[in-house]
Amino acid sequence: MIAVVTTVVALSVQHFQTVRVLKIELEHLLEGEADAIVLRFRDGGLGGLASYIDEQTLTQRRDVVYMVADRAGRRLAGNVLVWPSGLAAEHLAITTVRVRVRVRRGGQVQSRRIEAEVRTLGPDTRLLVGHLADSRIALGRRYWMSLALSVLATAVLGLSLGWLVSRRGVRVVRAAADTGDRFLSGHLDERLKVSPRDDEFDRLAEVFNACLDEIERMVRSLRAATDGLAHDLKTPLTRIKVRLELAALRGREGPQSDTLAETARDLDALLALVNGLLVLARADATTADSFVALDLAAVAQEAYDLYAPLAEDAGQHLLLRLSPAPARGVSSLLLHATANLIDNAIKHGSPGGQIVVATGIDGAASSLTIGDRGPGIAPDARERALQRFSRLDESRSTPGSGLGLSLVATVARVHRGQLVLADNQPGLRAELRLPLSPDRDLRPARAAKEVTGETGRVIGTEG
């Protein structure tokens, strides 16, 4: 549209400039001719004028026409046959008008359009000098033609280019709408295609996909959490109920203290579970404005102080290998995460084995690693190990709420870091990696939930 308007304006300006120049030239020409004839009329009268006009019309100025007429419009000389009816007889002004006249040219009588100037030669004599307007009319016509052609060309070109460009946009928008529809109807793995072109549409598609990833992650983790929570609440609640019913059957005589103690223990476990969920929810809601500068080595030392006696009682050796590992974060959360990892290592490590707690800088990350010599976690079970309420022990008989590793993964994620579970050959090596500088983000790329080399599987996306 804009292109069309621009074309019209440009061509019009050009055309009207040309027309103006031509018009000025024409006025000069007509004026000059008229002046020349007036002079000749004064010198040689009507007779001299007629021969001049004949000479002019036959040889020099083929495109100029003349007429000398009396007041009544009768022709006295010249090749215009009839005084144009459009021109008033008493028309005296020196103006240029466009009229249609009959002229004799090369022996033929033609009807032509002219632009003419009228002069008064004497009391009963008038002069008309005209210029054939064909070329100017042709020019005008050519202008309209070229204008139409240009507009057409511009419109066709512009529209087809626009269509090409917008077709991709429309396609992406339509694909996004379709994908969104299918996602809403329950196909949580539905995603937009990202082309290798890497343009703005691909950026949009990536962001759109990232949103879907996040929603899918939350929906799945909510489902898993609800299932796990229901199970973990039901078991102790059922036990409490049965115990109370038995106590009621026994009546007042029976011993109550066992019932009360066991019930209190079950209730403690339930409270611990609810507390664990609260801690997890709070960790999940952590934002960067509560971060302070800290050293993972100090966090590890604190956790070591807390757990070293416990490890020793369990017949394991807790070893520290600390070098400075600066990071930004919430120290109570990091301490809790570290404590959970050490607690896991003690629970699952082998008796007499070593548990090594190491900190240091590794590339762009500050790292805290806890390695045990226990059975480890099979590569295909590692992701599941991070989910809420998942216990790799199917019987759920080992103590623990199944929230421990899930909290560590959450803490890693809110710190823009990651939790990497790997093979310690033998045993489990859990590494908490936090960005060295606050503007880095170590969370795995949205698409890359897969294996990263031989170190293990990068999993830090569970919430």
Nearer to other proteins by C-beta: 189 or 313?
Answer: 313
- Tell me the one-letter amino acid at 167: R
Nearer to other proteins by C-beta: 275 or 437?
Answer: 275
Nearer to other proteins by C-beta: 343 or 431?
Answer: 343
Nearer to other proteins by C-beta: 90 or 313?
Answer: 313
Nearer to other proteins by C-beta: 286 or 354?
Answer: 286
Identify which range of 149-157, 202-210, 338-346, 352-360 contacts other proteins by CB under 8 A: 338-346
Minimum CB distance to other proteins, residue 234 (Å): 20
For residues 300 to 329, the per-residue mask of contacts with other proteins, x marking binding by CB under 8 A and - elsewhere, is --x--xxx-xx--x----------------
Minimum CB distance to other proteins, residue 177 (Å): 42
Q: For other proteins, how many residues bind (rule: CB under 8 A)?
A: 18
Minimum CB distance to other proteins, residue 310 (Å): 5
Range 365-424, binding other proteins (CB under 8 A): none
CA distance linking residue 428 with residue 422, whole number of Å: 6
| Cβ(395)–Cβ(341) below 8 Å | no
Nearer to other proteins by C-beta: 337 or 442?
Answer: 337
Nearer to other proteins by C-beta: 147 or 279?
Answer: 279
Minimum CB distance to other proteins, residue 332 (Å): 6
From the list 85, 332, 437, 455, which residue makes contact with other proteins (rule: CB under 8 A)? 332
- Tell me the one-letter amino acid at 196: P
For residues 340 to 369, the per-residue mask of contacts with other proteins, x marking binding by CB under 8 A and - elsewhere, is x--x--------------------------
Minimum CB distance to other proteins, residue 410 (Å): 13
Ordered strands of the 354-362 beta sheet:
317-322, 354-362, 365-371, 428-435, 418-423, 456-458, 451-452
Nearer to other proteins by C-beta: 332 or 452?
Answer: 332
Nearer to other proteins by C-beta: 301 or 354?
Answer: 301
Pairing of strands 317-322, 354-362: parallel
271 part of the interface to other proteins, by CB under 8 A: yes
Location of structure tokens 């100090």: 298
Task: Show the 3-state SS of the chain.
Answer: CHHHHHHHHHHHHHHHHHHHHHHHHHHHHHHHHHHHHHHHHHHHHHHHHHHHHHHHHHHHCCCEEEEEEECCCCEEEECECCCCCCCCCCCCCCCEEEEEEEEEECCEEEEEEEEEEEEEEECCEEEEEEEECHHHHHHHHHHHHHHHHHHHHHHHHHHHHHHHHHHHHHHHHHHHHHHHHHHHCCCCCCCCCCCCCCCHHHHHHHHHHHHHHHHHHHHHHHHHHHHHHHHHHHHHHHHHHHHHHHHHHHCCCCCCHHHHHHHHHHHHHHHHHHHHHHHHHHHHCCCHHHCEEEEHHHHHHHHHHHHHHHHHHCCCEEEEEECCCEEEECHHHHHHHHHHHHHHHHHHCCCCCEEEEEEEEECCEEEEEEECCCCCCCHHHHHHHCCCCCCCCCCCCCCCCCCHHHHHHHHHHHCCCEEEEEECCCCEEEEEEEECCCCCCCCCCCCCCCEECCCEEECCCCC
From the list 18, 226, 238, 275, which residue makes contact with other proteins (rule: CB under 8 A)? 275
Range 142-161, binding other proteins (CB under 8 A): none
From the list 205, 296, 297, 335, which residue makes contact with other proteins (rule: CB under 8 A)? 335
From the list 203, 282, 321, 440, which residue makes contact with other proteins (rule: CB under 8 A)? 282
Location of structure tokens 């004497």: 122
Minimum CB distance to other proteins, residue 450 (Å): 33
240 part of the interface to other proteins, by CB under 8 A: no
Task: Please compute Rg for the chain using Cα positions.
Answer: 50
Identify which range of 5-13, 211-219, 251-259, 331-339 contacts other proteins by CB under 8 A: 331-339
Nearer to other proteins by C-beta: 70 or 302?
Answer: 302
Identify which range of 233-241, 299-307, 320-328, 408-416 contacts other proteins by CB under 8 A: 299-307
- Tell me the one-letter amino acid at 241: K
Identify which range of 119-127, 133-141, 207-215, 336-344 contacts other proteins by CB under 8 A: 336-344
Range 15-34, binding other proteins (CB under 8 A): none
- Tell me the one-letter amino acid at 232: D
279 part of the interface to other proteins, by CB under 8 A: yes
Minimum CB distance to other proteins, residue 339 (Å): 5
Residues that bind other proteins (CB under 8 A): 271-272, 275, 279, 282, 302, 305-307, 309-310, 313, 332, 335-336, 339-340, 343
